[in-house]
Structure formats: C-alpha cells, structure tokens
Amino acid sequence: MTFTQPPRAHRRTDRLRRAAQLIGLRATFRTLDLVAPSVAARRALAVWCTLPSNAGRRKDFRAAAGETVRLPVPRGGEVVAETWGQGPVVYLVHGWGGWRGQLGAFVGPLVEAGHRVVAFDTPSHGDSDPGAMGAGRGNLMEFLEAFEVVTDHFGEAEGVVAHSMGCTSSSVAIRAGVPVRRLVLIAPNHDFADITRDFSRLLGFTERTRSRLQQLMEVFCERPLTDFDLAPLGADGAMPPTLVVHDLRDKETPFQVGADLAAAWTGAELVTTDGLGHQRILTDAATIARTVGHLTGQVAHRSGR
C-alpha cells in the first residue's frame, strides 16, 4: 500500500524545500562574494539560467490539440510549434519557464475571429528539445532565435500575443525587422539590469558579484543588457500598434512596469486588471476579448482601468 500526500502537503513540502535551498545558496554566495566574486558570478549565471519548476507554469488551457511541427534552431535541437485554424497568422509567445499551453485560452477566440494561431515552445521549455545549456536551463537568446525560426517558417504575423519575458524576446525581434502588424504585451518584464539587482538581493551577494554577472551576460548575448530594455524600443513610434495588459497585483512583474511601458511607447494603450496576478490573466475572458479586439482592429480600447 502506498501513501500519497494531499496537494496541500505537497505544496508545503515544496515550499520548505525551496526555502532550505535558498538558505544554502545565500550562505554560499555571501562567502564567494567576499573571497571570489568572479566564481560567484559564474555560479550566479548558472542559477539565473535555471528554469523555475512551479507547476503553475505548466498548466494547459488548450481546448483541443492542433497540428504540430518540429523546427531546428541555431544552437541545436528542435522546437515544437502547434497551429490551429486558417487565415492571417497570430503568434502566441510564452514567458520564462512557461510553455505554449499557458496561452491556450486565446486559441479558440482567435480562430473564431478568422486567424491561424501558432504557438511554440522555446528550447528547454514545454515539448521542445533541451537548449544548448542542457535540460532545465535556457536563456533569452534562445527565445529570440526560436521566435525568428518559427516566424520564418509560418510567415508574416498579423499579430503577436506575448507574456512576461516573451514580451522582450518578441519586441526585440520585431524591432530588428520581423514584420508584425499588431502586438499585445501581457505582464511585460522589467529591465534586466533591474532584475539582476533583485536577483542579487535574493541570493545575498553585492555589487562586486552583480557587476561581474552582468558582464558575463553581456558577453554571452554579445550586446549590452540595455539593448533588451523594452521602453526605448517603441519610444520613437517604430513598433506596431500595441496593447499592454497588466494586473495591479502582479507579484512577479510590478504593474508600474507595464504602465511605464505603455506611457513610453508612442500610441500604445494600457489595460489594467485587478486581482488576476501574473498567470491567471492569461485565462481572463475580458483580457482575451480585448486582445482579439485589438488584433482585429474592431474594438477601440480605453487606456487605464
């Protein structure tokens, strides 16, 4: 006879395990920060590139399976893309640690509106092959490359719906020349330099290590981190008409990030939700309706709440 812990006990055990791991990491990084900040930075990069394991990011909101295809990506392996419907193409782009099924609630309404919907998993995410850094690890450059590979295969985008870090990868690719007519950014992430500062506080290391971590990231990406800052990308009006959707109680990315982004981008509009957080916003009927309306040009959006 086997005993299965109830879900609440599982969650409590997971929280305790993560708390113990964090205590151990903080002790390690405090020591390395003092005696070997370069070593600390390399270890911090490994932690940075490790995908989150919480089950909420693996929820599947697809009503039905579509047609899947596997596409090779530049750093090796293949990514999985899934399609539904016919018509002008709309791409669904998940965030860090997520997968295509998270945005599945958008599929039916977009297909009904006459679109072909394409969702895909970036390397090490969902059903795609592990990325160049191995299983359970990923990086922004692989997000960018996957977006470009998928759009090259399926063609010009009528629209893109992106979530969290997918907002950055999509926006950078669009700014670099991927043609997209309309864009929806849901819970966009804040600037990476700011995230590294939050990261350093979480793990207990100082600017000695953080600055070296940023240098390692910039060497890996072959560009400064400021190139990935969202606000400057659309400040000159070069980005397509954009809808920004953000929740006031988002615990992963502060609401102010989305508000500031909408204010910075010429012509962007802000839709504010309250109580949906960072994940539930992806299944909210009003958010989905606003998104479809923006992509079809049939609904006039109102900034703010």
Predicted TM-score (pTM) of this structure: 0.90
- The rounded distance, in Å, linking the Cα atoms of 160 and 14 is 35
Domains of the chain and any CATH numbers: 7-48+192-228 (no CATH), 60-191+229-305 (3.40.50.1820)
Please tell me the predicted confidence (pLDDT) of residue 202: 93
Cα–Cα distances (Å) from 84 to 66, 77, 124, 127, 295, in that order, read 5, 24, 23, 17, 17
Please tell me the predicted confidence (pLDDT) of residue 22: 80
In the chain, DSSP assigns E strands to 67-72, 78-84, 89-93, 116-120, 157-163, 180-186, 242-247, 269-273
- The rounded distance, in Å, linking the Cα atoms of 271 and 262 is 9
Which of 99, 136, 139, 138 lies closest to 119 in space, CA to CA? 99
For the chain of 305 residues, list the mean pLDDT of each consecutive stretch of 10. 44 66 88 95 95 82 96 96 97 96 97 97 96 94 96 96 97 94 96 93 95 96 94 94 97 95 95 96 97 83 42
